[in-house]
Structure 1
Amino acid sequence: MSRFHIIVGRGALVAGLIVAGAPVWAQTAPASPPAETLAANDPGEIIVTAQKRAENVQSVPLAVSVVSPAQLAAAGVRQFQDLSKIAPSLTIRPAEHPVNANISLRGVGTFAFGIGVEPSVAVLVDEVPLAFQARAFTDLPDVERIEVLRGPQSTLYGKSASAGLINIITRSPTDTLQVRANAVATTDEEYGANFSVSGPINEKLGYVVSAAYSFWDGNVKNLFNGKEVNGRETFNTRGKLRFRPSDDVSFTLSANYLKGATDVGRPFVRLSPNARLRGAAALTTAVTMPGVVIGTDNTDVSNNYNARTNYSGYGGNLRGEIGLGDMTLITVSSYDKFHLNDYLDHDDTSAPGPNGLNIQVGEFRSKLYTQEVRLQSPGDKPFRYTVGAYYAHVAFERPFMRGPTFSLANWFATSKSRQVAGFVQADWEFLPKATLTGGARIQNEKVDYTYQDNLAVAPARNFFSGGAKDTAETWKASLRYEFTPAISAFATYATGYKGQTYDLTTGFNANRAAAGPIKPEKSKDRELGIRTQWFDRRLTVNVTLFDTDYKNLQAQTIETLADGTSNFRLTNVGKLGTKGVEVDTAARVGSDVTLGASVAYLDAKYKSFPVAQCYPMQTAALGCINPGGGAATYQNLTGTRAVQAPRWKFSVNSEYSPALTDNLRGIAQANWQYQSDIFYASRDPELTQKAYHIVNVGLGVRSQDRKWEVVAFVNNVFDQQYFPALVNSAGNFGLSAANPGQATQAVLPRDFRRYGGLRVGLNF
């Protein structure tokens, strides 16, 4: 993997992105504080900004998971894509490059590769949205806390949050000098370090500066050149400057920069003896992948092209808070620019001749500008409200080429979206202990696109352009009753909206252009929740029941071309319903033991999906319908479990920290993650991951005042192999219903094999 020109030596790196402190507990905050470090005061109170004002999470009538740096550490989470390990309703499926990865909440996500297709799960950093999800797939430096909001959040957060959102809160300036430094080194060539320094410049100015670097060699070997692949290298830096000219006025300027690279290797875990690359009799496995031993524990590939990505981006935002009597005016302006290059060995082999030289090369370029203004009333009144306006403009460019032998493609597309919205939400304590919450949003969106097919031959058209407008409303209503200060219940109804778009991918033609935009995706969500704390708030038990329906679900389907290759297309697939129960618990046993568990049961099914693509080698006996007369074959997925929707998923964590001396404590940590079986494509047995569990443990010591800690850890203690993503490549190897067989590749997770390491944290 290429090295950055950064003055960071391996010998100086010993650990990464782990904060030695306990979970993020917080004191009561003002009506609308900046996303800043929330100091420990009451260990039973966790402050979140899920409703755009600081509130105790126990008082929020939403399903919210709050993840602290300590939880990230115990679960072995150092990258965004690993967050699903500790948020059971969240599933993140990685891919050969971040743009093809996707995020699901409660079984609902965006399975699309085209530019301009917004996610069902929004990702925000310090309450500022990212242009698209690929921007998030990197390290998690300087995290203060992560809030995962489950279910539609369109009323306050707009059209990219029809299934939920992830809000990453980073550290903000502090009133006293504070320093954090963390490092990690592992037995399988991972090194990382990060630091942040915050404090005052004078009585009106405060700052925070942070930076992080990480490197991992990877866990796949390319036998063609002897290099390790499936690794990564990332550098992040962020700075914030806060100006407080008076007690009721504050401005925070934030800037960030990101540079990273990955290399790609997707091992074959199943490959039939009759598989032949492109159906050519001479291109056997021994010829196309010499030395590779196929099996579910395979970690070798043989690629004659350097499959990889490299990316960079920068941005910033300016947040202002101005007191207007009892009211607070908040304004947030942001800009973000991101660029990713992707290179793929399309045939995934080192085969001799033209069939072994097919490659895929593309770029993603994005620019995003947002502006939000909102007015908030005091948070301690019986009637409190937030009213605001929002503007966003995002532009994408995507040049793409594939060839030169098969699955030819060469095109350039652009996509632009402009959104204007107004929103309001109010809480009214109309009776003692009874609060009614209502909110609404109206938004207008305009989308435009261009698409130029550089392979089209006259008289076929090679250039298309168009646009569309849409105005939509979303709303929510909630009733919350507080039985005691520690026990409450709520019922919520909310609607969600995901905007219209165009399928700007390979195969876009006059028919797709004439069909117009893909319809908006809409959702209706019903939730019942109970929030309880017991034994002087040492035990927390929260339960949420949900039932959500999605109409005109936007999802990727597969078109199989005449030459056996696949083409991907986005469309409205019908209706989906997801329902289930989520349980979050936390307990503190004395001063030495903390326990936590999150469990999700999910029943997500397609309610209407009568015409779906058959999977490779699916026969009539397996449900593939052939209507005859030249019409395409299809399967009916109505009533089928949704993809990327495990029925059961849970995460359990514990920490025992006994006093060893007056100034020293021991650390014993354990984390257990479980996921039931999951489909990565409906009914395809080749793309099914069986149930698995992962156990991580750590032992170490820390100072009594938590200013430092050293922990030795082992992740995936029982060496359990699993696949977070699978690819069915049967068509590329001459396999079909007439010539059945297997050609299945996997994206290996970071913890595909057991590994150990050492992490160090300083906090003073």
Structure 2
Amino acid sequence: MIKRDIRSTASAIILTMGLMDAASMAQAQTMPADGSDIVVTARRSSEKLKDVPASISVIDNSTIKNAGVVTITQMTNLVSGMTIVANTSQVGDTQINIRGINGARDAESNVALVVDGILKTNTSALNQYQGDLQQVEILKGPQGAYYGRNAAAGAIVMTTKAPGDMFVVEGRASYATQDTRLLQGSVSGPISETAGFVLSGDYRSTDGFYRNTGPTPATRGHSVDDSRNWNIGGRIVLTPTDADRIDLKARYGKIRATPLAFDAVFALPGFAGAFGNPLFDEDVNDHKLVYNRNIRGANRLTSKEASAKFSHDMGWATLTSWVSYSNIREDLLSDAAAGSLGRFNQRASCRASVAALSAAGVQLPQPQFLAPTPEASILGAYTPTTCDGIQYTVRNQKDVSGEIRLASNPGGPLSWFAGAYYLHINRHFGTAINEDQGLGALRSLYNGPASINPTSLLFDDRYKTNVYAGFGSLEYALSDRLTFSGALRFDREDRKVDPLVPNVIDPITNGPINPGFSVGAIVPKSRKYQQLQPKVAIRFKASDELNLFADWGVGFKAGGFNSQGSTAIIDQNFNGPLGSNINISDDYRKERSSAYEAGFKASLFDRRLTMDGAVYYTTVHDMQFFEFYTGNFGILRVVSNIDKVRLYGAEMSLSYRVVPGWTLFANGNVTRSKILKNNTRADTVGNKSPNTSDYTINLGTQVIEPIGEGLNLTFRADYRITGPTWFSTVQNQTKRSIFDLFFPGLGTGEYAKSRRDAYGILDLRAGVQAERWSLTGFVRNLTKKKYLTEVVVAPEFGGEFVSQGEGRTIGLELGWRL
């Protein structure tokens, strides 16, 4: 099967590249439709895209509007070799993968997010509204030399609307199926001859695609993937002199959503044979998701951000400095997953709810089974009983950062910059499993034994981080055709964790509320992480139509701390009873990557055809990876390290203007990966890197055709194919699960069916466009393709937790510019 996948992948990419005479990539082009050069700032200075010795995909303002880009997911789906997991666990959780380097949930981001020259540090900001976008640049490969920590996979550089000399009111509003609403816009203009403003905002809401079908009146019929969010932002730009510029920004936003849109899938072939039910050993791609929880989930996120940026042109160089403040608070309340392994089986509320539901004739989705008692029942996760408990999670982060940089002004063969950076983070992360007594839910991490939600398991820690960095860059043009560049950055990160869990008894198990207390005191810890991050590049201008480049760089993500007590839980529940040999620590190591890249950028036929391509080879040491464990102890979220991973691949994009107004586009990426060493799970060596799709392919076309009276007919089609994807280091393997302790010989899980299949999504847009308005109809996922957004493999649980992607959306959009 794997060989067949490789052949099909290669064939698909060859076909994509074969469209050279009839394809284009409007979203990663080297020039806009009018033939002028795109200017980018991804390397922290303004330069023509075609001259940058690196792979950059650019989504310009026209593509943002013509493709209807609203979310980071839609943006990601336009870029080859880039995938995303968002809005599956909680709204502040976004994991981006570029060329096989993935972000780990609960760790730092692997992609730098830069908005109007200011580096954002909170991963929760990745999936939030940043203002009226004018251009987005995705710089691929390690960019630590330019952006430091957490730019291991690349950088996303956003440019938002700046005030101009005229008052402008522009925006868009849309309504679509699932009661999906969008209102997004901005007002901008001058305040005086030396000052201007932008006021922007958005409102988005949807009822989602999936409903709770369980018997509980309080949750029946409610959406499990709805969301409501709004943001308002302001920007003031002052130019008191020709040499000075002051840029002030602020944003406030709120999100309300339903979290944890997961369903459990069993991977127990022994159970399937013993009980004659194949649903005990199901392919994740065939699973029919059923939501029947008795707790209505609630996810809340509030953002407050402000920044100030100052630049002064001294003639020979420009001094730039900025300071940024961010305060993002998030919590979630949800049904938990403790019922399947009986943590609350002896509690009166659990036994009463099972008996009542059984007497009422309630049926659980197969292969689950409801009997008069919990012991006689087969319960999965997130059931309508109170036996699951209630999960409550808090993730709050405040950070303050600042930078000062001195950069040469344009002109001459030599350009340079140098600077320093500081960041302080104060983060609080906690998660609790509380008893569900059928009396409601409290939004607090610790509830006493006499409360309506006694806390049974608690992880609660405060993390403080200080980051110090110095950096510089040199670029020298040896001739009109040959240019060398080099950049260097040193980051030092001081981290500290203070445990906040009280040393009290769990009223359910009569053990400590955090199992770590059973093997000793949980005490504060501190660690220092540092890394030198170089990058070198060479560009050769073979002709006016062809640029060749090669580069090498180092990426870095600091290590950190898991919830204190994680090691004790793994040892007590898996390594001891099951002999699992899982090596999890209360802290995880820093991640380092070394990446080589070579490529070209070309244009032909009077710049009607543009194309670029690259090959890359990356070695990652101590890749950070999120692991999820569940058992009768509750749940555990940790970050582990994969000691060594090899990644290599190729990508290509093509752009062809058939005639003025008609564009065809295509791009493709193939990534091959292999785990070379993994002490966390030693038997996974040889498997693929998790969360890395084998390939991505984008095909499409765009037409803008004048029809008279100042009107244009517009049409755009985007077809995105995402290749097969493993989400865990455990792949085509077997693992002994907790169930084997109760059903010896039957509880071994088999995970060959945990790979997500390849899938394709077709989006269409068509409408009429005038100078000041547009009216567009759109369909997302035209064919109603069913696919999974994430598969969280829990080998010791004997299954997976899966989240389903969006269905078909049909809507109408009105745009205006006044």
TM-score (norm 2): 0.77
Match of 1:573, SS? strand
> 2:696 — aligned with what?
649
**TM-align CA RMSD:** 3.2
In structure 2, the CA distance between the partners of 1:728 and 1:530, relative to structure 1 (3 Å rule), is: closer
| Structure 1 residue 342 corresponds to structure 2 residue 332 | yes
Q: Does 1:391 align with 2:422?
A: yes
CA shift for structure 1 position 231: 1.3
Shift of 1:578: 1.0
TM-aligned CA deviation for residue 297 of structure 1: 7.3
Alignment of structure 1 residues 324-343 onto 2, 5 Å: 324-343=314-333
Q: 1:413 aligns with which of 436, 440, 461?
A: 461
**What SS class does the counterpart of residue 135 from structure 1 fall into?**
helix
In the alignment, structure 1 residue 687 sits paired with structure 2 residue 751: no
Q: Is residue 746 from structure 1 mapped to residue 741 from structure 2 by the alignment? A: no
Query: Is residue 471 from structure 1 mapped to residue 530 from structure 2 by the alignment?
Result: yes
Number of aligned residues: 679
The answer to whether structure 1 residue 111 and structure 2 residue 159 are counterparts is: no
* Pick aligned residue for 1:726 from 777, 783, 791: 791
Q: What CA deviation, in whole Å up to 9, does each residue of 1:287-306 have, x standing for no partner?
A: xxxxxxx9947464111111
Q: 1:71 aligns to what SS in structure 2?
A: helix
Alpha-carbon separation, structure 2, partners of 1:744 and 1:446: 36
Residue 678 of structure 1, aligned match among 721, 725, 731: 725
In 2, the alpha carbon distance for the partners of 1:91 and 1:243 equals: 38
Deviation at 1:379, TM superposition (A): 2.4
Deviations 1:96-143 (A, max 9, x none): 213554221111113232xxx322222232232333212322356521
Aligned mates of 2:81, 2:692 — CA distance in 1 = 9
Asked if structure 1 preserves the Cα contact closer than 8 Å seen for 2:728 and 2:793, the reply is no
For residues 639 and 293 of structure 2, what CA distance do their matches in structure 1 show?
30
1:161 is paired with a residue whose SS is: coil
Aligned to 2:59: 67
Structure 2 residue matching 1:162: 3-state secondary structure:
coil
The answer to whether residue 587 in structure 2 is matched with residue 521 in structure 1 is no
Q: Secondary structure at the match of 1:301?
A: coil
Identify the residue that residue 254 of structure 2 maps to in structure 1.
Answer: 259
Q: How does 1:517-596 map to 2 (within 5 A)?
A: 517-557=587-627, 563=632, 567-596=636-665
Q: Per the alignment, in what secondary structure is the counterpart of residue 246 of structure 1?
A: coil
Q: Could you say what secondary structure the match of 1:724 adopts?
A: strand
Contact 1:242 1:253 in 2 (8 A): yes
Secondary structure at the aligned position of 2:547 is classed as strand
Alpha-carbon offset, residue 594 of structure 1:
2.2
Three-state SS of the structure 2 residue aligned to 1:390 is strand
Alignment match, 2:376: none
SS of residue paired to 2:145: helix
Distance apart, 1:580 and its partner CA: 0.8
Rounded to whole Å, the distance in 2 between the matches of 1:716 and 1:141 is 26
Give the residue type in structure 2 aligned to 1:501.
Answer: G
Secondary structure at the counterpart of residue 229 of structure 1:
coil
Is residue 493–residue 524 contact of structure 1 (8 Å, CA) maintained in 2? yes
Residues 1:699 and 2:699 aligned together:
no
1:264 to partner: Cα distance: 3.2
Match for residue 364 of structure 1 among 389, 395, 414: 395
Distance 2:570 2:800 in 1: 32
Of the candidates 683, 686, 689, which is equivalent to residue 636 of structure 1?
Answer: 683
Question: How has the CA–CA distance of structure 1 residues 446 and 486 changed in structure 2, closer, same or farther, with 3 Å as cutoff?
Answer: same
Of 147, 150, 153, which residue of structure 2 is paired with 1:157?
147
Q: Which residue in 2 is equivalent to 1:450?
A: 498
Amino acid at match of 1:229: V
Is the deviation greater in 382-391 or in 96-105? 96-105
- Deviation of the 1:176 alpha carbon: 2.0
Give the Cα separation in 1 of the matches to 2:250 and 2:637: 37
* 1:308–1:343 CA contact under 8 A, matched in 2: yes
The structure-2 alpha-carbon separation of the partners of 1:367 and 1:257, relative to structure 1 and needing over 3 Å to count, comes to same
Deviates more, 1:527-536 or 1:234-243: 527-536
2:721 & 2:66 partners in 1: Cα distance? 15
Residues 25 and 45, structure 1, Cα contact 8 Å, conserved in 2: no
Q: Following TM superposition, by how much is the alpha carbon of 1:672 offset from its aligned partner in structure 2, in angstroms? A: 0.7
Q: 1:646 to 1:74 in 2, by over 3 A?
A: farther
Match of 2:222 among 207, 222, 227: 227
1:373 deviation in Å? 0.8
CA distance in structure 2 between the partners assigned to 1:365 and 1:178 by the alignment: 37
Tell whether the 8 Å contact from 2:112 to 2:119 is kept in structure 1 after alignment: yes
Superposed displacement of residue 407, structure 1:
11
1:93 Cα offset (Å): 1.5
In the alignment, the residues of structure 1 paired with residue 603 and residue 48 of structure 2 have an alpha-carbon distance, to the nearest angstrom, of 13
- Which residue number in structure 1 is paired with residue 778 of structure 2? 713
Q: Give the letter aligned to residue 810 of structure 2.
A: G
Q: In structure 2, do the counterparts of structure 1 residues 41 and 377 end up closer, same or farther at CA, with 3 Å as the change threshold?
A: farther
Does structure 1 conserve the Cα–Cα contact (< 8 Å) formed by 2:93 and 2:123?
Answer: no
Cα offset, 1:543, TM superposition: 0.7
User: In 2, Cα distance between the equivalents of 1:298 and 1:78?
Assistant: 29
Is 1:566–1:731's contact at 8 Å kept on the other side of the alignment? no
Query: In 2 relative to 1, CA 452–463 (structure 1 residues): closer, same or farther, beyond 3 Å?
Result: farther
Cα distance in 1 for residues equivalent to 2:112 and 2:556 = 12
Residues 788 and 802, structure 2, Cα contact 8 Å, conserved in 1: yes
* Cα deviation code 1:557-601 (max 9, x no counterpart): 45575x486634323221011111121222333322123222111
CA distance in 2, matches of 1:234, 1:528: 42
What residue in structure 1 maps to residue 672 of structure 2? 603
Classify 1:538/1:111 alpha carbon distance in 2 versus 1 (closer, same or farther; 3 Å): same
Cα deviation, 1:371-414, whole Å, max 9, x if unaligned, reads 11111112232101111111111110123211338994213201
Q: Distance in 1 between matches of 2:233 and 2:677?
A: 46
Q: Give the secondary structure class of the aligned counterpart of 1:159.
A: coil
Does residue 402 (structure 1) correspond to residue 472 (structure 2)? The answer is no
Structure 2 counterpart of 1:129, which letter?
Answer: L
Alignment correspondent of 1:763? 817
Q: Which has the higher helix share?
A: 2
Distance 1:101 1:356 in 2: 30
Alpha carbons 2:247, 2:310 under 8 Å: kept: yes
Indicate conservation of the 8 Å contact 1:438/1:476, yes or no: yes
Decide whether aligned partners of structure 1 residues 296 and 456 sit closer, same or farther in structure 2, where only a CA change above 3 A counts: closer
User: What secondary structure does 1:58 align onto?
Assistant: helix
* SS of equivalent residue, structure 2 residue 114: strand
CA distance in 1, matches of 2:33, 2:685: 51
Question: Which of residues 712, 715, 718 is equivalent to 1:665?
Answer: 712
Query: How far did residue 719 of structure 1 move?
Result: 1.6
Aligned residue in 1 for 2:127: 137
1:430 Cα shift? 1.4
**Structure 1: segments with no counterpart, 5+ residues:** 1-21, 28-39, 286-293, 613-634, 737-742
For the residues of structure 2 that align with 1:573 and 1:514, how far apart are their CA atoms?
11
CA gap of 1:407–1:556, structure 2 versus 1, over 3 A, is farther
**Using a 3 Å threshold, how does the CA distance of structure 1 residues 517 and 566 change in structure 2: closer, same or farther?**
closer
Distance of 2:77 and 2:714 partners within structure 1: 21
Among 427, 430, 453, the alignment partner of 2:478 is 430
Q: CA deviation at 1:516?
A: 7.8
Aligned counterparts of 2:207 and 2:586: Cα–Cα separation in 1: 45
